Structure 1
């Protein structure tokens, strides 16, 4: 099996939790190492891995794929350098700080025949996979309205200074926002217009931490919300159609299990608790039903497997740069809408 030599641009939480366990699990990837600026930690988990002292040294090495998992405001610079060095790139969300940057990277990757993908791993969450399956059945009828939430209760500012210091990549709009924006576009396509309300709600915060974005389609609207003052969560996914409704709480266990040190696998990974099953209330063959829907298993391994096939067999990226550009266009429109307090046509 051909192996893709892969390196990370940091080995903090994302490198340790979201990337390296799946690179290690998939036999098609070889984890070469990570760029580590201060503490050298990757060898504690992977003794064979290298720790690079600079980005230039990493890019000079025999590496096929670079994972850009650094702060958002560095994504454009580091991704461009990796592409210019002839490397395939997987970049975390938010893809860049704006759509113009994203488009430039896409053009560069295409010109050099390189793969460029965005790590929108939440498409492979158990809860969203279940929502997608119900929606695709058409059992709800024509959608009238949808609402996606990524809510938490955490009034304390993050100790990560890049998240709490004003910069082009900071704030919940470019942190949690890309997850639910991408999920909405993945289900419903690109909207006709956007309206957004973006606020600061935490004491002493200087970056946005609450968003309410409405995507307008021809026959319905989708509302996307995220914030840090939701102690009692409502369903994270709400779909209302002309035949019925589906409500699903957020319940994917992968992040918590990975943080706890559990190792992913391909057989029984990502199974939610039964109490988090969604409620389907609709009509089947003239009979009104209200029942629980078994939750599908989540597995980020499938993203990395698709990334492998993209590079080795020239298949489409699991989340393409074009899809990443669309998310950035929504974010750009949301910022403009909030500033001018108006609906922005796309």
Structure 2
């Protein structure tokens, strides 16, 4: 039997990053989509899918067939909607950031646990192809003990019209939420964090540049984003006691989705060979070895496969509560004091 779900929110997130993956999965049935304002022209694109569109939230909350709700609304509404859905007995998948504060996230995870429900953030970038390549390299052990790992999420977008907003509407909460999660998924909770968070293109706006350094016992992880990087910088840089790994180019799923190419189509999300990562290391005989690391195929839909397993079969969640809360704390504490700053976690 498929997992019956609904969506709260019918904007870019739902239409670009969720529905294209869900509608090709037999294990998931989309029954309803709620939005405060109906969008008839957009709804017509899903004609024949058997989806019920509504601007009445009670149609979602009171429907006993709906087992899980995917919340794809602005960040400041996540806590409210998550609580409503859990109190109605629905499992929830929440777009990033999960909440705007750690305290809110603690309340939601505690409520889910109390009611025996699954509550998880939509950390789809755990299934970026470039991140999967990094995991393969680390698991191979070829670079030896890790010394430093660096991840970039850069653009060149010099124009920044005035759009004042809250701290959770900037680049750190929007993109750092993913790259910090990737590091937490690999290495767990760090013991210190150093921050450089700035608004560079337009000081009226929330941050558009950040560097966060996460300190572990014997290595550090660095996550960076800037909107003023014209000459491409490596997406990943890994240095270890026996070698290094360099990878240019970001996962191609988003590029394909923006171009209207859908999951399941030929070559969807495939990384070009020229973007494959380069692994250089010293082998057991002391020789310098260079290898090209093909980029694994990414698939954001795997989040839904794993939600199905957690809800239907009781499998452990992909993103554990302690990982979610560590991420929320790192994000939130970056704004407790002016940058640059260092905190103990």
Partners in 2 of 1:340 and 1:171 — Cα distance? 15
Counterpart of 1:138?
141
Q: Cα deviation per residue 1:147-195 (whole Å; 9 max; x = unaligned)? A: 1111111133479xxxx43225311111001111011111222111011
Residue 275 of structure 1: aligned partner: 274
Structure 1 residues 156 and 58: CA distance shift in structure 2, 3 A = farther
Structure 1 Cα separation of the partners of residues 155 and 32 of structure 2: 33
1:81 aligns with 2:84: yes
C-alpha distance in structure 1 between counterparts of 2:81 and 2:229, whole Å: 35
CA contact (8 A) 2:195 2:339 kept: no
Matching of residue 122 in structure 1 with residue 125 in structure 2: yes
Q: Answer whether contact 1:33 1:42 (CA < 8 A) is retained.
A: no
**Structure 1 residue 311 corresponds to structure 2 residue 314:** no
SS in 1 for 2:335: helix
State the shift of 1:300 in Å: 1.6
Q: Which residues in structure 2 correspond to 1:1-346 (within 5 Å)? A: 2-38=1-37, 39-40=39-40, 41-47=42-48, 48-61=50-63, 62-157=65-160, 164-203=163-202, 205-265=204-264, 269-286=268-285, 287-336=287-336, 338-339=337-338, 341-346=340-345
Alpha-carbon distance between aligned partners in 2 of 1:173 and 1:46, rounded to the nearest angstrom: 37
State the Cα deviation string for residues 188-228 of structure 1 (Å, max 9, x = none): 22111011011001136421111111111111111111121
Secondary structure of 1:343's aligned partner: strand
**8 Å CA contact retained: 1:73, 1:167:** no
Cα deviation, residue 269, structure 1 = 4.3
Cα contact 1:142–1:242 (8 A) shared by 2: yes
Are the equivalent residues in 1 in contact too, given 2:197–2:340 (CA < 8 A)?
no
Q: CA deviation at 1:318?
A: 2.2
Q: Secondary structure at the match of 1:271?
A: coil
Assess if the C-alpha contact under 8 Å between 1:118 and 1:320 holds in 2: no
Asked if 2 retains the 8 angstrom alpha-carbon contact of 1:157 and 1:205, the reply is no
Question: Per-residue deviation at 1:46?
Answer: 4.1
- How much does 1:255 deviate? 1.2
Deviation at 1:261, TM superposition (A): 2.5
Shift of 1:54: 2.8
Structure 2: distance between partners of 1:237 and 1:158: 30
Q: How many positions carry a matched residue from both structures?
A: 340
Instruction: Measure how far apart 1:53 and its partner are.
Output: 0.7
* In 2, Cα distance between equivalents of 1:171 and 1:282: 38
Deviation at 1:58, TM superposition (A): 2.2
Runs of 4+ in 1 over 6 A off after TM superposition: none
Unaligned runs of 5+ in 2: none
CA deviations over 1:258-298 (Å, ceiling 9, x no partner)? 22232312996432111100111111222211232111111
1:249 Cα shift?
A: 1.6
- Secondary structure of the 1:90 match is strand
- String of CA shifts for 1:76-102, please: whole Å, max 9, x gaps: 111111111110000011111111111
Please give the alpha-carbon distance, in whole angstroms, between the structure 2 residues aligned to 1:140 and 1:319. 27
> What is the DSSP-based 3-state SS (H/G/I as helix, E as strand, rest coil) of the residue aligned with 1:175?
helix
TM (normalized to structure 2)?
0.93
